[in-house]
Structure formats: structure tokens, C-alpha cells
A = this chain, B = another copy of it.
């Protein structure tokens, strides 16, 4: 019954990475953030800019992102009432992640095509 801890600890990386993934998980969240940061503010504009997203999913994810203070929902009391989605400053902190994923995605696609 000797002490047996065979593995190398990697918790210092695994834990924060999982914290980040827990916020931006799912197929759609980063796309929505990209769209809003690009300047799309209206529900239908965001929906139009992201191929394949349904209104149900978009509504749900927008609420999620609002809770995490990555975007804010602004109600403009005009006639008719307008609703705008704007990026919060905190969303900017995601830029390095988005950039890294974009670069990787581009070279990955090249790799796939060149060997196909």
C-alpha cells in the first residue's frame, strides 16, 4: 500500500481552461459575440449574420451572454420600441481567444484541403 501517484499534475492549466470553456461553451456563443462586436445590434441582424442559427437558440444564448456581462440588452423607448444588443467592455477580453481560434481554424481548413 505504497503511495502511488503516477500522473503529472496539470491542474494549473486544466482548471482555468475549463473555467473559460464553461463561459463560452456551445456551438453559438462565440459567433454571437463576434457578430455583436462587428456591429450587429438588432436581433434579426445578428440572426442574419450567423448562418443556421434559429431564433430560439439565439434568444437563449443572448440571455446567457447578458448574464455573463459580455453583452447588454438595451431597450429604446421609441415608437416602435427598439431593442439593441451591444458588446460590454468585458467582451473585448475575449479577443485573444477569438483570434487564436480564427488563426487555427484557417490553417486547419488548409490542412484538411491539402491532404484531401
**Interface residues, chain A, with chain B CB atoms under 8 Å away:** 5-11, 13-21, 23, 25, 27, 30-31, 34-35, 38-40, 42, 44-46, 48-51, 93-94, 96-109
Contact = CB atoms under 8 A, between A and B. Distances in A.
Contact of A10 (B20, B21, B38): B38
A5 B34 CA distance: 18
Contact of A16 (B7, B50, B97, B106): B106
B104 A100 contact: no
A98 B13 contact: yes
Contacts of A50: 14
Given A10-B38, A21-B27, A40-B10, A104 B97 contact: yes
